[in-house]
Amino acid sequence: MARIREGDMDAFRLLVETHQARVIGTISKMLGSDAESEDLAQQVFIRIWKSAPRYRPTAKFTTWLFRITRNLVFNELRRKRHFVDQAEEIPEPAERADKEPDQVLLEEELQLAIQDAINRLPASQRMAIILRRYEEMPYEEIAKVMGTTVPAVKSILFRARAELRQRLAKYLG
């Protein structure tokens, strides 16, 4: 960030290349749209560039990065005033040819059901689940990203997991 603060475009390019996939993935899971995710991720990195002169390393860089990501995603959700209900497209598994067609269909149905259930969670629960499950962040870092306490994060995750269990009951039993 010190190099970026000085206007070093190579340092900024490296930062974007290093973190772009995680930012896009998080946004995509929150919004349910890959096209919107890339646009919003671009806004995240524009904010980082513009904020570089004011950046102070008081926390891990990724905490700051995901805080910006969270704020932009929540702004986008408020702007839309509704949650996107589309399930994200499931990538073709490499081992698909080795599986029976009915097994492949069941796995695809389960993945779609999981993504749909996550998409239906309230935004704060969805963000906590995505940061914990997909970004593998510790509770402390999630609390910093979300601007709350560790006990609050644990409570949010507990409620989110309970809701997911309820919505996915027919697949779990």
Full pLDDT tens readout for the chain, 173 residues: 889 888 899 999 999 999 999 999 999 888 877 778 888 999 999 999 999 888 888 878 999 999 999 989 888 887 765 443 433 343 444 444 456 766 767 777 777 888 888 888 998 999 999 999 888 899 999 999 999 999 999 999 999 999 999 998 888 76
Place of tokens 């935004």: 123
- Domain residue spans of the chain: 2-172
pLDDT at residue 76 in the model:
84
Q: How far apart are CA 67 and CA 46, in angstroms?
A: 14
pLDDT at residue 99 in the model:
61
Under CATH, which number does the domain 2-172 receive?
1.10.1740.10
- The separation between CA 25 and the C-alpha centre of its own chain, rounded to angstroms, equals 6
Type of residue found at 39 = D
